[in-house]
Chain A
Amino acid sequence: MAGGANPNNVTPPANVNPFNAAAMAQGVAMDRVGQGLTATAADGMSNYTNPYETQVVEATLRDVGSQAEMGMNNLAAQAQQAKAFGGSRHGIAMSELGKSFNQQALDQAARLRQQGFTTALGASQTDMATQLGAAGQLAGLGQQAFNYGKDIQNQQMVQGALQQQLSQALIDAAKGQYAGYTGAPGNALQQIISALAGAPSSAGQLAGETEKYQPGLFNFLQVAASA
């Protein structure tokens, strides 16, 4: 594994609230992506190194050695039959055969080690890609969880406001009734004022007249003369 935080191993608790789930997912995803900025596949290759690689190489070398030995024996037998054993031609043939088997052994060992390296590198790279992909998926799931929670919260707010409005409407109705009660005397007065305000025109028609006579100086003189 390339990094320390593996999104594949993150299992949010079943009863966690959506916001905690979102925060957890986001945190893990951010950690993994952050690690991916500097991590290389080399970090994870040791997980895929075949612990038996050396044994396999050694076994292969032994096989090559056995074949070399058998080849040397055959060459010696052939040299004896040709009465050339120990001769210069035998020596040259033995030397060439030895070089050939040595090269074979080196080639086999190198091939095996290269195969192990390539396998480990590929597996580690696949791990990195899988983990980064999982981190992206986890971030998406976190966003989804957050949106679930936010939508539910919005619904709670909207429905709660409706409930509060209903209560407020009842309160307002009660206040209206109360205002009607306490305002009843004033309303009654208004009706009386309206009635009185409309009355003078009709009352004027029914009004009586009083004649007043103010006596003058001549009247007083007349009274005095007749006395």
Chain B
Amino acid sequence: MSGGSKSTQKNLPKFYEQDLQQGMDFAQDVAAVGYTPYYGPDVAAFSPMQNASFDSTNMMAGAFNMPTADPANYMPEPTTFANGIQGYSSAPLYGEAVDALAANRPGQKNYIDSFFVDPVTGAPGANQPSAQPVQYEMTAKRGK
């Protein structure tokens, strides 16, 4: 037995390795964006005609000495957005919930935040993937 052995290894073309690297880099950058809350209206407010309908129902009940209800006691005043659209946004409730998380479980909240860029300054998060680079074992030059 001569003892020698011969093996054949297939290599990806360099252009594909570059594309793959760029794709991974891009994915890491995108993953670091984090959650982008929506601050616009979510639910349309009652229209003036609906409010008139509520008033009519109260008028109906009141005429027969039955209990009435002020719609304002159920829903807050709607916010007027662009184009005069009146509605309600879930943003304040969302913000309140995030603040509550920060107050009650700051460690967990900070850990979540560390995966993403700072939403105000844009500074990279401590644990976002691009902050922990790895050496690709590829023949092509990384990222180029």
Interface SS majority for chain B: mixed
Q: Does B41 contact A (CB under 8 A)?
A: yes
> In the assembled complex, which residues on chain A have CB atoms less than 8 Å from the CB atom of B33?
185
Interface SS majority for chain A: helix
Q: Does A39 contact B (CB under 8 A)?
A: no
Contact with A along B82-109 (1 / 0, CB 8 A): 0101110000000000000000000000
Q: Does B11 contact A (CB under 8 A)?
A: yes
Contact with A along B24-49 (1 / 0, CB 8 A): 00110110010010101111111111
Interface size class, chain B? 35 or more
Contact with B along A192-227 (1 / 0, CB 8 A): 110110011001101111111111111100000000
A192 to B40, CA, bound (A): 31
Nearest CB in chain A: distance from B88 CB, A = 10
Identify which of A46-54, A84-92, A155-163 touches chain B.
A155-163
Are A210's CB and B63's CB within 8 A?
no
Are B4's CB and A219's CB within 8 A?
yes
* Complex: chain A residue closest to B60, CB-CB: A19
Nearest CB in chain B: distance from A216 CB, A = 2
Nearest CB in chain A: distance from B84 CB, A = 10
Are B44's CB and A160's CB within 8 A?
no
Are A189's CB and B26's CB within 8 A?
yes
Are A218's CB and B85's CB within 8 A?
no
A214 to B5, CA, bound (A): 5
Are B42's CB and A160's CB within 8 A?
no
Known contacts A19-B64, A199-B19, A217-B3: does B46 contact A164 (CB below 8 Å)? yes
Q: Which of A149, A156, A210, A216 contacts B49 (CB 8 A)?
A: A156
Nearest CB in chain A: distance from B47 CB, A = 4
> In the assembled complex, which residues on chain B have CB atoms less than 8 Å from the CB atom of A59?
none
Q: Which of A160, A186, A189 contacts B52 (CB 8 A)?
A: A160
Nearest CB in chain B: distance from A96 CB, A = 75
> In the assembled complex, which residues on chain B have CB atoms less than 8 Å from the CB atom of A212?
6-9
Q: Which of B9, B27, B53, B83 contacts A157 (CB 8 A)?
A: B53
Known contacts A168-B43, A196-B23: does B10 contact A152 (CB below 8 Å)? no
A-B pair count, CB < 8 Å, reads 155
> In the assembled complex, which residues on chain A have CB atoms less than 8 Å from the CB atom of B120?
none
Q: Which of B11, B19, B53, B63 contacts A17 (CB 8 A)?
A: B63
Are A174's CB and B47's CB within 8 A?
no
Are A20's CB and B63's CB within 8 A?
yes
Q: Does B12 contact A (CB under 8 A)?
A: yes
A163 to B86, CA, bound (A): 11
> In the assembled complex, which residues on chain B have CB atoms less than 8 Å from the CB atom of A154?
53
Q: Does A171 contact B (CB under 8 A)?
A: yes
A212 to B8, CA, bound (A): 6
Known contacts A170-B83, A213-B4: does B30 contact A163 (CB below 8 Å)? no
> In the assembled complex, which residues on chain B have CB atoms less than 8 Å from the CB atom of A146?
60
11 contacts between A and B (CB under 8 A): A19-B60, A149-B59, A153-B56, A156-B53, A160-B51, A167-B44, A167-B45, A209-B11, A211-B8, A216-B2, A218-B1
- B interface with A by C-beta (< 8 Å): 1-13, 16, 19-20, 22-23, 26-27, 29-30, 33, 36, 38, 40-53, 56-57, 59-60, 62-64, 83, 85-87
Q: Which 6 A-B pairs have the closest CB atoms?
A: A216-B3, A160-B50, A160-B49, A163-B47, A167-B44, A19-B63
